[in-house]
Amino acid sequence: MSEVREQVREHYREVALDVQGGGDGCCDSGCCNGPKDQVWGAELYAAAERAELPDAAVLASLGCGNPIAIAELREGETVLDLGSGGGIDVILSARRVGPIGRAYGLDMTDEMLELARRNAAEAGVGNVEFLKGFIEDVPLPRGSVDVIISNCVINLSADKTMVFEEMRRVLRPGGRLGITDVVASDGLSPAERAERGSLVGCIAGALSFAEYRSGLEHAGFEDVEIEPTHAVADGMHSAIIRARRS
Q: What is the pLDDT of residue 233?
A: 84
Q: What is the pLDDT of residue 47?
A: 73
Q: Which of the four pLDDT bands, split at 50, 70 and 90, describes residue 193?
A: confident
Q: What is the pLDDT of residue 30?
A: 43
Q: Which of the four pLDDT bands, split at 50, 70 and 90, describes residue 36?
A: very low
Judged by average pLDDT, the poorest of 124-128, 173-177, 196-200, 202-206 is 196-200
Does CATH number 3.40.50.150 belong to domain 2-245? Answer: yes
Q: What is the pLDDT of residue 34?
A: 44
Q: What is the pLDDT of residues 123-163, one digit of tens each?
A: 999 999 999 999 999 999 999 999 999 998 999 898 999 99
Q: Which of 1-5, 49-53, 174-178 has the highest mean pLDDT?
A: 174-178
Q: What is the pLDDT of residue 78?
A: 98
**Domain segments of the chain: what residues?**
2-245
Task: Report the half-sphere exposure of 229 (CA within 13 A, side-chain side).
Answer: 20
Task: For residues 156-182, give the mean pLDDT.
Answer: 96
Q: What is the pLDDT of residue 27?
A: 46
Q: Is the pLDDT of residue 199 over 60?
A: no
Q: Which of the four pLDDT bands, split at 50, 70 and 90, describes residue 20?
A: low
Q: Is the pLDDT of residue 61 over 70?
A: no
Interior angle at CA 179, CA 139 and CA 177, nearest 5: 65
Strand bridging mode 78-82 / 102-107: parallel
**SS3 letters for the chain?**
CHHHHHHHHHHHHHHHHHHHCCCCCCCCCCHHHCCCCCCCHHHHCCHHHHHCCCHHHHHCCCCCCCCHHHHCCCCCCEEEEECCCCCHHHHHHHHHHCCCCEEEEEECCHHHHHHHHHHHHHHCCCCEEEEECECCECCCCCCCEEEEEEECCHHHCCCHHHHHHHHHHHEEEEEEEEEEEEEECCCCCHHHHHHCCCCCCCCCCCCEHHHHHHHHHHHCEEEEEEEEEEEEECCEEEEEEEEEEC
Mean pLDDT of the chain: 85
CB of 14 closer than 8 Å to CB of 27: yes
Q: What is the pLDDT of residue 81?
A: 97
Q: Which of the four pLDDT bands, split at 50, 70 and 90, describes residue 166?
A: very high
